[in-house]
Amino acid sequence: MVDASELFAQVRFRRREPAPALRPYLEHYWLIDWDLTQPYASHLVPHPSVNLVFQRYEASSVPTRGTGFAEVSGIGLELFTQKLEGRGRVCGVQFRPGGFRPFAPDRPVSAWTGRRLPADEVFSPPASPSAVLDPADEDARVAALDAYLLALRPDPDPQADRAMALVDLVRTDRTLRRVDELARAEGLSPRSLQRLFAAYVGVGPKWVILRYRIHEALERAEADPEVNWAALAAELGYSDQAHLIRDFTATVGVSPTVLAPH
């Protein structure tokens, strides 16, 4: 999230854990409710994750006023901006990178990358937005998400487990800075690694490595106005500070200095 503190001042944002049987595949549920007097635009640097999103917007400028809909949001390649106004509610499911394919095994995850489409085009049985969005009680909404996803009966898939483990390695091990290093760590050829990521993650391993490094740079920039960008660039595997700042600005849409706390 870009300027997360400002977003949290505008909306009620919570993360919730899914049912135990779903945790191998999901990062978390994320719930947002808002009641705004003025429109607000939120900005997100997407994770390498597919999301299932149940949404209801109650504003005169939104065609779905008073109704709800569900969509699958593939991995976003660019900065994502969402305008919020009036009242609304969103209940989202963030899958672990590599964890979506067992729920939709017929197509590679790369088929959804950069796309947002109705959930009914991806899942069977169809999702019921009202079952998830209508309950006033938050626990009931979480229970509805659990019930729907459990009914999809994800198929165990060793390749999905492998992909999830590799992305976790990228996320936690800063010494992995190159695709060939990641391939060697898993005993794969770079080409086999590319195929695994296309089928189960949705983007290539180089993209995942870069995105997690940009996420870390974003967190540092928002937390510390005095961050040493030259040292951070070296820590994240960049050849120089200018390269990191160039990638950061291209991904986030603004330079690091704009995000420094006031």
3-state secondary structure 125-193: CCCCHHHHHCCCCHHHHHHHHHHHHHHCCCCCCHHHHHHHHHHHHHHHCCCCCCHHHHHHHHCCCHHHH
Say how many residues make up the chain: 262
What value does the mean pLDDT of the chain take? 86
- Residue bearing the bigger pLDDT, 231 or 107: 107
- What domains sit in the chain, N to C, each tagged with a CATH number? 4-151 (2.60.40), 158-259 (1.10.10.60)
- The arithmetic mean of pLDDT across residues 81-103, rounded, is 92
Helix or strand or coil: residue 255?
coil
Give the lowest-confidence range in 95-99, 127-131, 258-262: 258-262
| Structure confidence at residue 227 as a pLDDT band (50, 70, 90) | confident
| Structure confidence at residue 246 as a pLDDT band (50, 70, 90) | confident
The token pair that represents 27 in the structure block: 């990062």
Largest CA distance in the chain: 55
In angstroms, the Cα distances linking 153 to 105, 123, 163, 225, 255 are 11, 11, 20, 47, 44
Can you give the pLDDT at residue 262?
43
Highest mean pLDDT among 75-84, 107-116, 208-217: 107-116
- The arithmetic mean of pLDDT across residues 184-191, rounded, is 90
What lies within 8 Å, CB to CB, of 142 at 6+ separation is: 16, 18, 29, 31
Whether the per-residue pLDDT at 213 is higher than 90: the answer is no
Pairing of strands 51-58, 26-35: unpaired
Percent of residues, the chain, with pLDDT higher than 90: 50
Can you give the pLDDT at residue 4?
67
Residue type, 250: A
Give the lowest-confidence range in 119-133, 186-200, 217-231: 217-231
